[in-house]
Structures are given as C-alpha cells and as structure tokens.
Chain A
C-alpha cells in the first residue's frame, strides 16, 4: 500500500489506520508513505497493490495525475478534506473518495473496491494467479 500526502503526520496516522484495519481482518499490509512530489522524482514501489492519495490542492491533483499516468493499472483512492475534487477523481478513475476524517469503514470500503478492480482486471487479462490487495 502506498500513501501520498503532503503532511508527514497525516501520512503516519493513515499508515497506522490502514495497518490496524487490515490486521483486524487478518491481513498484513506493507504500507509505505511519501510526499506527493516524490511521484515526480522517485521510482515508487512497482508492486504497489493500491494507493491512498490526498488531494486538497491543485498541486495534489497534479501529483495524482502523474501517479495515474505512471501506474495506470494500480487502483487508487482519493482522500480529501471536502468533496471539491470528486469530479477530478472520476476523471482520474479513482476507485473511491474518502472525506476526512478517515475511519475504518472508509478504509475497508476503499480496499474492497481496489481489490475488486484488481480481480476484474486480472480476470480480463486471463491471469488467475492469487494476489492480495492489502
């Protein structure tokens, strides 16, 4: 799992929440976090199963667009303080959109939608190897 958020403290909180949420469901998540600008200059983990991208500004939208361009098949979820970027999330083909505060219900729904997307894509490509999204 990958988290892109401009605030380090928010990244840490989200990381803990995702890990604990999946642990409760008996799953182990390897969660890494980065600042949004890293998507322009660093190779992000290629084996990312899903990403949580915070969008609260035009700069954040640019980072999300870059992520969507580079990691076309990786499902991602938008997190925001409000619903202002919902249409942009549709344009970018985000799997879900969570308005803060982020809770376990939101994380579970997001992971479920990402997992479904991955399964659907793999089914289409004829790849039936088991793979988790969490």
Chain B
C-alpha cells in the first residue's frame, strides 16, 4: 500500500502530521510526501494507491488533473471550498477543509477503500 501526500511545502508541519495520521490508520503503508514538481516532471512514485492533495493554487490543481490521468484516487485538502467543484469534476473521493481532523482522514480512507468501508478502484 502506497499513499502519497502532495504538498507544495514538503517539509511543512501539515504534510508531516497528515503522514503521521495516515501511518496510524494504515498498517504497513508506505507514506510519501511529494512536491507537485515530481508529478510535472513525470517523477511521481509508481504504484500509488491513493493521494492526498493539498490544493491551494492553480498549479496544485494542474497536478491533480495529471494524477487523474494516472488513475490515482484522490482526496483534496484545502483551506477553502473554492476547489470543491473541480474536485467533483475530477471525481475525487473526499474534500477536507482545514484544519485536518482525525475523523476527516478516517472518512477519506473509508471512501478510498483503504480503511474498511469501500473497495479501492
């Protein structure tokens, strides 16, 4: 199981805390934190089962569109509802508005089919 957190601030607290939460929920998962540049440079990790994408800019949205083409199921994380409609269009599984709570991550993992509730795509 490989889950990637895409953030423009790969060393930031949010990405680290989210990765820690994901490790708590998913046993034996490989949790990676990546910058969007990796997606644009076609260096995104292979075999990704799910991505948590911090979307707060058009560049992040472009990265998310590229992940759709790679058929990676996604969850959006944002500070505002501004990207929710684009999330619907891209068929993302869940949309979390900051601050990211433990329950949000659990719901997201359920909808991704990683944590008990649903099967992954």
Could you say which residues of chain B place their CB within 8 Å of the CB of A121?
118
Contact across chains for B97 and A87 when beta carbons are under 8 A apart: yes
Say whether chain A's binding surface is mostly helix, strand, loop, or mixed: helix
Which single member of A89, A93, A120, A123 contacts B88 (CB below 8 Å)? A89
Query: Shortest distance in angstroms between A92's beta carbon and chain B's nearest beta carbon?
Result: 11
Interface size on B, residues (CB 8 A): 14
Contact across chains for A124 and B95 when beta carbons are under 8 A apart: no
* A113→B81 CA distance, assembly (Å): 22
Query: Shortest distance in angstroms between B29's beta carbon and chain A's nearest beta carbon?
Result: 20
Q: Does B72 contact A (CB under 8 A)?
A: no
Interface size on A, residues (CB 8 A): 14
Q: Does B87 contact A (CB under 8 A)?
A: yes
Residues of chain A in range 100-115 having any CB-CB distance to chain B below 8 Å: 113
Contact across chains for A90 and B118 when beta carbons are under 8 A apart: no
Q: Does A11 contact B (CB under 8 A)?
A: no
Contact across chains for B95 and A90 when beta carbons are under 8 A apart: yes
Which single member of A90, A113, A120, A124 contacts B84 (CB below 8 Å)? A90
Could you say which residues of chain A place their CB within 8 Å of the CB of B113?
120
* A87→B119 CA distance, assembly (Å): 23
Enumerate chain B interface residues (CB-CB to A < 8 A): 81, 84-85, 87-88, 91, 94-95, 97, 111, 113, 118-119, 121
Enumerate chain A interface residues (CB-CB to B < 8 A): 83, 86-87, 89-90, 93, 96-97, 99, 113, 120-121, 123-124
